[in-house]
A and B are shown apart, each in its own frame.
Chain A
Amino acid sequence: MNSFNDIFETYNWDETKASIYAKTGDDVERALSATKRTLEDFKALVSPAAAPYLEQMAQISQRLTLKRFGKVLQMYVPLYLSNECSNICTYCGFSYDNKVKRKTLSPIEIMQEVAAIKAMGYEHVLLVTGEDNVNVHVDYFKKVLELIRPHFAHISMEIQPMDLEDYQQLTPYGLNTVLVYQETYHQEDYKKHHPKGKKSNFKYRVETPDRLGKAGIHKMGLGVLIGLEDWRTDCFFTAVHLSYLEKKYWQSKYSLSFPRLRPFSGGLEPKVEMSDRELVQLICAYRLFNEEVELSISTRESPNFRNNIIKLGITSISAGSKTNPGGYVVEPESLEQFEISDERSPSEIARVITAQGYEPVWKDWDKCLA
């Protein structure tokens, strides 16, 4: 078996979807009482049949998360480096065909943004770019990592999928974590949403975590963009992907995100709506399925939702985020990738976390650790 694609090709979307929707209350109860839960249990937990069991799921999720992670929440913040992009993605503000002013931060501008982020208290940063292999390539990333590594304990990247050799070149520069979201595992829909650019190659993207694993990356983040397709089926494939990766690349850590499609100027309306209740169901289902995986929530979600989700299974949270390059100080008015729903500052979020009996953790890695 060479990559996840070999496993993925044994599945059929429609059959998988039908099997999720066919799950019954009995299946859910079996899943709830199991100690080690299988992919079939996960199907039951994300199925409509699990809706009446939400409180029970939340209680188990809370208990499992406390046992593994304790009463702490990891704080992180994105730093958008560039909005240049050669892809067309129908749902994204940075899409090639979206006529916006393009910007890639210069070293001086990056350091201005870094100073602003550090002033908020952050030690963990997530670097974000579009997919532009002309200006924003492996050499650019090397320079950026060299520049910012002394200032952060932990660096993650959410950038274009790269070749194995590129990742191997970046890890000595302090790259610890890479997030690469599949957007959707529905192949035909994937093609519809990504008609142009390197990203239109489904297989290259779906095999990216394999390349990350081979490069020995410490942590990788998976997820789909919720709203493009049936979320239950898409998240089931995320779980399949996670299980495969954990067994094969056992030295890597994993995190999951569950971004819901947010509006941007001229953007796409979600094909599928996911309610708050359903998002809680998904978060708890992920936790019940996998006790060790990190679960991350961004400022896409509303303040009220974020306040209440803290105790239910989440392990990391962003705050004070800007989703435009230069958004902190350099060019605060430039176009953002998506609208922020929770505008509260990191210190306000930290107070919310503390008030719930949890400790906000700003540093949980060290640059000395490889």
Chain B
Amino acid sequence: MLKIADKIFSSRLFTGTGKFSSSALMEEALLASGSELVTVALKRVDISNNDHDDLLLRLKYPHINLLPNTSGVRNAREAVFAAQLAREALETNWIKLEIHPDPKYLMPDPIETLKATEELSKLGFIVLPYIHADPVLCKRLEDAGTAAVMPLGSPIGSNKGLKTIDFLEIIISQSNVPVIVDAGIGSPSDAARAMEIGADAVLVNTAIAVSANPVQMAAAFKLAVEAGRMAFEAKLASPVLHAIATSPLTSFLDE
């Protein structure tokens, strides 16, 4: 079972709410995914009137936890402000910290993210920061009190898969907090691969929302994440490139 802060998750597939062709379809797909943590952009919902917001109403299930995100902010100051509004309006102290001052590729700002994580965790937030697959930054975020780290697999929305896999493996091997691979996962096989290398969870949005059949794709991701986790727990055999017949370098020891 995955535990982040004080919450236990039986599903390791986290999802997003953007890009769907309708909120009804989003609801159906998220249910099919089995996801228990769903991120919502603060800017997309009407927080002053959240009892009537169509998107939020679609997420009112006992098993679904909301993870508001700060998409749209450009620095730590704006992020902290947005997180406080989200906490007040949505009654959760969980926050997905997204600080991308670059609106073209939506690359996360490591400096502002670290600053905001320090401040928000002091303010009692459960912080899940979206970051580059930067192992040192992950350790620094741990020191700052982060609840998990969310390194990207490839540029957000790109569906390019795990381009950062070598760095993800380092992050996973040395992390004391859950590692959630956040962006770029384009297919269930990418998600399975992330789970096989030991990621604690993955977050998928575009690949589900933009597929021809989001509900079926959500179900496929659910299975892939379960399979990948199962394989990780069963300990994958290491790939071997050639047959091992003799030991030319060390056989003299046996002579």
Chain A residues with a Cβ under 8 A of chain B: 66-72, 123, 153, 218-219, 246, 250-253, 292, 354, 357-359, 361, 363-366, 368-370
Q: Is B44 within 8 A of A358, CB to CB? A: no
Q: Is the interface of B mostly helix, strand, loop or mixed?
A: loop
The A/B interface has a contact count, at CB < 8 Å, of 78
Report the Cα distance A252→B47, complex, angstroms. Answer: 25
Of the candidate stretches B78-86, B145-153, B174-182, the one touching chain A is B78-86
CA distance A361 to B23 in the complex (A): 11
Q: Is the CB of B102 within 8 A of A251?
A: yes
* Interface status of B51 (Cβ within 8 A of chain A): no
Indicate whether B74 reaches chain A with its CB closer than 8 angstroms.
yes
Which residues of chain A are near B85, meaning CB under 8 Å?
Answer: 366, 368
A365:B21 contact, CB within 8 angstroms: no
* Chain B nearest Cβ from A219, distance in angstroms: 8
Residue in B closest to A219 when the chains form the complex, CB atoms: B103
Instruction: Determine the chain B residues whose CB is within 8 A of the CB of A67 once the complex forms.
Output: 157-159, 206, 210
The one of A153, A292, A354, A357 in contact with B104, judged by C-beta atoms closer than 8 angstroms, is A292
Q: Given the complex of chains A and B, what is the CA–CA distance between A322 and B23 in angstroms?
A: 30
Q: Which residue of A lies closest to B159 (CB)?
A: A67
Q: Does B101 contact A (CB under 8 A)?
A: yes
**B43–A365 contact, CB under 8 A?**
yes
Asked whether B45 is an interface residue with its Cβ less than 8 Å from the other chain, the reply is yes
Q: Give the residues in chain A near B220, CB-CB below 8 Å.
A: none
Residue B232 interfacial (CB < 8 Å): no
Tell me the complex Cα distance, A66–B207, Å. 11
Contacts of B101 in A (CB 8 A): 250-251
Could you say which of B46, B78, B102, B158 contacts A363, with CB atoms under 8 Å apart?
A: B46
Contact call B104/A370, Cβ cutoff below 8 A: no
Contact, CB under 8 Å: A361 / B44: yes
1/0 per residue, CB under 8 A from A, across B128-164: the answer is 0000000000000000000000000000011100000
Q: How far is the CA of A68 from the CA of B155 in the complex (A)?
A: 11
Residue of A whose beta carbon sits closest to that of B45: A363
Chain A proximity mask over B1-44: 1 for CB below 8 Å, otherwise 0: 00000000000000000111111000000000000000001111
Instruction: Determine the chain A residues whose CB is within 8 A of the CB of B46 once the complex forms.
Output: 123, 363
Complex Cα distance, B101 from A207, in Å, reads 23
Contact A66 B210 (CB under 8 A): yes
B72 within 8 Å of A (CB atoms): yes
Interchain CB contact under 8 A, A366 and B72: yes
> B97 contacts the other chain (Cβ, under 8 Å)?
no
Expressed in whole angstroms, the Cα–Cα distance for A365 and B41 within the complex equals 9
Residue of B21, B23, B73, B78 near A358 (CB, 8 A) is B21
Docked-complex contact A354 and B22, CB < 8 angstroms: yes
**Given A70-B210, A363-B46, A364-B43, CB of A357 within 8 Å of CB of B21:** yes
